[in-house]
Structure 1
Amino acid sequence: MTVLRTALRVEAIAWRRSTVQRLATPLLIALVPVASIGLTTLARSGAVGGAGAAKLADYAAGDPATTHLVAAGQILSVAVLMAGGFAVAATFGQPLADGRAGAYFGLTTPRGTLAFARGLVVLGWAAACVAGAVAVTVGASAAVAATTDAPFGPAAWAAAGRALAAGLLAAGLALPFAAVATATRSPLATVGALIGVVGLTQVVVLVGAGAWFPYAVPSLWTGTGGPDAAADVGGAAVAITAAVAPVGAALVVVQWRRLTDV
């Protein structure tokens, strides 16, 4: 445990100084609330017509606070996966691509422990960003609700809870891409795989199997595909989606234990 704590401390310092973290953190925490409230405001302004109005129709009904948080959950389900994918591409793929990982063979800390610590740091960062984005959205929505006749009630809190859960699920879904980064030793290949999975998710949803495909579950669960699609996502599908994170972490630990030619 002492070795793991040391590895976590070192990896946290390195991640805090990384460019990806410095760019992605404010984008997730600030832009998600802005986009959520902005979409709702735009949908109710009457300024959008035609196809745009149809796409925003779901944000034009219901009390504003609940709609803000529903939108936040939908945005987080995609944004956190993308941010997490870029994060593991940088933290796992880049050292292998530029040769810096060769130094790991001279450390007393096992490489598997380093990989586990690195994954935990990225996952913890993503979870903190999700919590921050939801908290900011709740605060802003409560402020908006105070100026209207629609109070910040139980429905809004339920939407906030679902947004938080969906964002955490999406964060966990990024961990398997650490295994992709390790196998390919390329951050670009990892990002390509991430984009490929996002595209595949769209196809799976179109053919009607999204409710059981982990990479579609967070988005559908928050209502991106409509209320019927959200209702199709059951507890078993959510549990399977949550299991992706530990499986991905275990896989990358095994890979790093077996690294021999860096």
Structure 2
Amino acid sequence: MTGLGTALRAETLAWRRSAVQRIATPLLVLLVPVAAVGLVALARSGAVVGAGAAKLAPYATGDAATTQLVAAGQVLSVAALLATGFAAAAAFAQPLADGRAGAYFGLATPRSTVALARCLVLLGWAAACAAGAVLLAVAASAVPSAGLGAEAWAAGGRALVAGLLAAGLALPFGAVATATRSPLATVGALIGVVAVTQMVVLVGGGAWFPYAVPSLWTGMGGPAAASAVGPVGLLLAAAAVPVGLAVVAWQWRRLTDV
């Protein structure tokens, strides 16, 4: 535990100083509430017609605060996956790609412990960003509405859980980053999974495909698709965290400096 605590402190400091963190944090925290409010406002403005209006139709009716928080969950379910996936590419692949791998062999702390600490730091950062984004979305929805109803609070809670699930689903890309030692290859794999997710949803398997579950659960595919996501689908999505932790720790235990 002492070694893990030391690794957590070191990895936290390194991540705080990371350029990726400094760019991704404000983008993730601010993008979600801004996009949610903007989508609802645009849908209700009447300024969009044709195909665009049809796509925005779900945001054009109902309680504005609830709709904004539903939209926040939908945006966060995608943004958290992408942001945490990019973070994993930077945190795991870049040190191996630029030749710093040899330094890990001189540490008293086992490499698997370092990898575990790095994963936990990324998850903690992503969870904090998701919470901050949802809090801002709640505030942006509550002020003009003079408070939130039960449905709005439920939508906000679902948005937070969806963001956490999406962040956890990015953790296996730390394993991809370690295996390829390439940030670019890791990002390519992330984009490939997003594309595959779209195809799985099109053929009707999204409720069982972990990478589709958070966005479908928030209603991105419509009410019917959201209701099809059950406890099993949510558990499959959540399983990405322990699986990712175990695989990355195993990889780093067997890591070589070549």
TM-score (norm 2): 0.99
In the alignment, the residues of structure 1 paired with residue 41 and residue 257 of structure 2 have an alpha-carbon distance, to the nearest angstrom, of 55
In the alignment, the residues of structure 1 paired with residue 144 and residue 172 of structure 2 have an alpha-carbon distance, to the nearest angstrom, of 39
Q: Determine whether 1:229 maps to 2:215.
A: no
Select the residue among 153, 159, 164 that pairs with 2:160: 164
| Aligned-pair CA distance for 1:250 | 0.5
Name the residue aligned to 2:241.
245
The SS at the match of 2:239 is helix
In the alignment, the residues of structure 2 paired with residue 158 and residue 169 of structure 1 have an alpha-carbon distance, to the nearest angstrom, of 16
Name the residue aligned to 1:206.
202
Name the residue aligned to 2:82.
82
Write the letter of the residue equivalent to 2:230. G
In the alignment, the residues of structure 1 paired with residue 55 and residue 145 of structure 2 have an alpha-carbon distance, to the nearest angstrom, of 24
TM-score (norm 1): 0.97
Write the letter of the residue equivalent to 2:73. G
- How does 1:104-183 map onto structure 2 within 5 Å? 104-146=104-146, 151-183=147-179
Q: Determine whether 1:9 maps to 2:9.
A: yes
Q: Which consecutive unaligned segments of at least 5 residues does structure 2 have? A: none
Write the letter of the residue equivalent to 1:104. Y
In the alignment, the residues of structure 2 paired with residue 246 and residue 154 of structure 1 have an alpha-carbon distance, to the nearest angstrom, of 33
Root-mean-square deviation (Å): 0.7
| Aligned-pair CA distance for 1:101 | 1.8
In the alignment, the residues of structure 2 paired with residue 171 and residue 241 of structure 1 have an alpha-carbon distance, to the nearest angstrom, of 10
Q: C-alpha deviations, 1:132-186, integer Å up to 9, x for none?
A: 000011011101212xxxx510000000000000000000000000000000000
In the alignment, the residues of structure 2 paired with residue 86 and residue 154 of structure 1 have an alpha-carbon distance, to the nearest angstrom, of 35
Q: Which consecutive unaligned segments of at least 5 residues does structure 1 have? A: none
Write the letter of the residue equivalent to 1:124. G
Name the residue aligned to 1:258.
254
Q: C-alpha deviations, 1:38-89, integer Å up to 9, x for none?
A: 1000100001000000000000011011001000000010000000000000
Give the conservation status (yes or no) of the 8 Å contact 2:20–2:87: yes
Name the residue aligned to 1:68.
68
In the alignment, the residues of structure 1 paired with residue 216 and residue 43 of structure 2 have an alpha-carbon distance, to the nearest angstrom, of 21
In the alignment, the residues of structure 1 paired with residue 90 and residue 124 of structure 2 have an alpha-carbon distance, to the nearest angstrom, of 16
In the alignment, the residues of structure 1 paired with residue 216 and residue 112 of structure 2 have an alpha-carbon distance, to the nearest angstrom, of 34
| Aligned-pair CA distance for 1:261 | 3.1
In the alignment, the residues of structure 1 paired with residue 85 and residue 69 of structure 2 have an alpha-carbon distance, to the nearest angstrom, of 24
Give the conservation status (yes or no) of the 8 Å contact 2:178–2:248: yes
Give the conservation status (yes or no) of the 8 Å contact 2:206–2:212: yes
In the alignment, the residues of structure 1 paired with residue 109 and residue 169 of structure 2 have an alpha-carbon distance, to the nearest angstrom, of 27
Name the residue aligned to 1:193.
189
In the alignment, the residues of structure 2 paired with residue 251 and residue 261 of structure 1 have an alpha-carbon distance, to the nearest angstrom, of 18
In the alignment, the residues of structure 1 paired with residue 234 and residue 223 of structure 2 have an alpha-carbon distance, to the nearest angstrom, of 16
Write the letter of the residue equivalent to 2:186. T
| Aligned-pair CA distance for 1:31 | 1.4
Name the residue aligned to 2:58.
58
- Report percent identity of matched pairs: 74
